[in-house]
Chain A
């Protein structure tokens, strides 16, 4: 039986019923949500938007646009901005390439300059360094991750957002690693935009994600095309979410995401139990000889480590091929974080738990790492 500990990449298993819901969405008669009036039972995207708005404590479900993943959501936000001349973006060394590469693209095309704020040895953005950079560079936008996908360190999104906002910057939060296990409340927190994915801690299908766009934010659409409504106009409709949702929506996946959201609403994650498992895994790995990046609370259920005597990639290979344990190794698409962590140039081995991880899986993982460490001596 394979042990899956790669939930920070994509959650598995998904919430009960998600697979069936996606299949039902494929098999059922297609409807056009944009023209269905009050027939809410057939408004698959509308229902999902309402569930997401509830989760985000948003009064504006129509300002949540669907995207295939968080990467596209972040691209829509970053490429849709009306950049001022000499615009500056402040970001952090903990960012995923889904933020770093669009920013790099914009730099290459002379739209912006960026300043990357350092993180501490846990991968957490230092508020003092953040504030210093915000005050120094007066950014048009501050974009940062809610939680490091490498270490699990959770940033103080409320504080970092407030610092940026008070200096006149717009804010974009990457909640890919947090939505579903941590509160994310853009309107309460004053966050202008939040990008998220459906297939990680929301336990939905791949191909789902979205972008919350605050009421004061004006973006240009990146994708334009058919919307099924106002087709006599040459321009994209002005109203959200239509303005940002050109093309046929992925209703089956969105139906799957709705099912996941309903299930997780009825079955809230037991964060204490999840952290207990994480702590036990952490203690076991340390005892087995692994060298961990130790992260204090608040954190997501992620552990990053190296194993003396072993190449990072080989650990992943052996865990999978010899012990049937799925993890992730390497840079985890966040290459700028490593100079701040005590790891080698090849990144880390990352184990990421879910609410479905059981004790036997924790024990088996600790034993496997222990055997590997013992064998290398």
Chain B
């Protein structure tokens, strides 16, 4: 079964709710697109290591290197709902990968 690990990461702000997720897969553009169905996606393909950023309508941001296994997710506040929603989406995406 595909899965992920998550770890809270800190920055300068006490109110920040930021996690890193280490995935079993490399997050290519197809999966970024499936993550970004309900949000806005920016690709920076010309960078030496291309970067992406997805912003969901609830303010959650997903960012990282395209085709890397680690992504950073910035949740809009400390409430649990955006994180639950994101992890549900992530699990569904990983399940889809497993079924392919």
Contacts and interface: CB of A to CB of B under 8 A. Distances in A.
Given A314-B63, A317-B72, A322 B12 contact: no
A322 B65 CA distance: 7
Given A313-B11, A331-B12, A321 B46 contact: no
Contacts of A314: 53, 63
Interface in B45-82: 46-51, 53, 63-65, 68, 72
A3 B69 CA distance: 23
A347 B16 CA distance: 14
B53 A322 contact: no
B51 A321 contact: yes
A318 B51 contact: yes
Interface string A326-344: 0000111100000000000
B44 interface: yes
A313 B13 CA distance: 11
Interface residues of A, number: 17
Contacts of A321: 49, 51, 64-65, 68
Contacts of B50: 322
Nearest to B47: A322
Contacts of B72: 317
A161 to B, nearest CB: 30
A322 B63 CA distance: 12
Interface in B32-53: 44, 46-51, 53
A116 to B, nearest CB: 19
Interface residues of B, number: 16
Contacts of B64: 321
B70 to A, nearest CB: 9
For the residues of B in contact with A, the DSSP-based class is: loop
Nearest to B68: A321
Interface string A344-371: 0011000000000000000000000001
A323 interface: yes
Interface in B1-35: 11-13
B11 A318 contact: no
Contact of B44 (A313, A322, A347): A322
B46 to A, nearest CB: 7
Most A C-beta atoms less than 10 A away, residue of B47, B48, B72:
B47
A1 interface: no
Interface string A281-312: 00000000000000000000000000000000
Contacts of B11: 313, 330
B62 to A, nearest CB: 12
B40 to A, nearest CB: 14
B47 A323 contact: yes
A375 B64 CA distance: 16
Contacts of A346: 12-13
A89 B26 CA distance: 54
A323 B48 contact: yes
Nearest to B45: A375
A318 B12 CA distance: 17
A371 B46 contact: yes
A338 to B, nearest CB: 11
Contacts of A317: 63, 72
B41 to A, nearest CB: 14
24 contacts: A313-B11, A314-B53, A314-B63, A317-B63, A318-B47, A318-B51, A321-B49, A321-B65, A321-B68, A322-B44, A322-B49, A323-B47, A323-B48, A323-B49, A324-B48, A330-B13, A331-B12, A332-B12, A333-B12, A347-B12, A371-B46, A372-B47, A375-B44, A375-B47
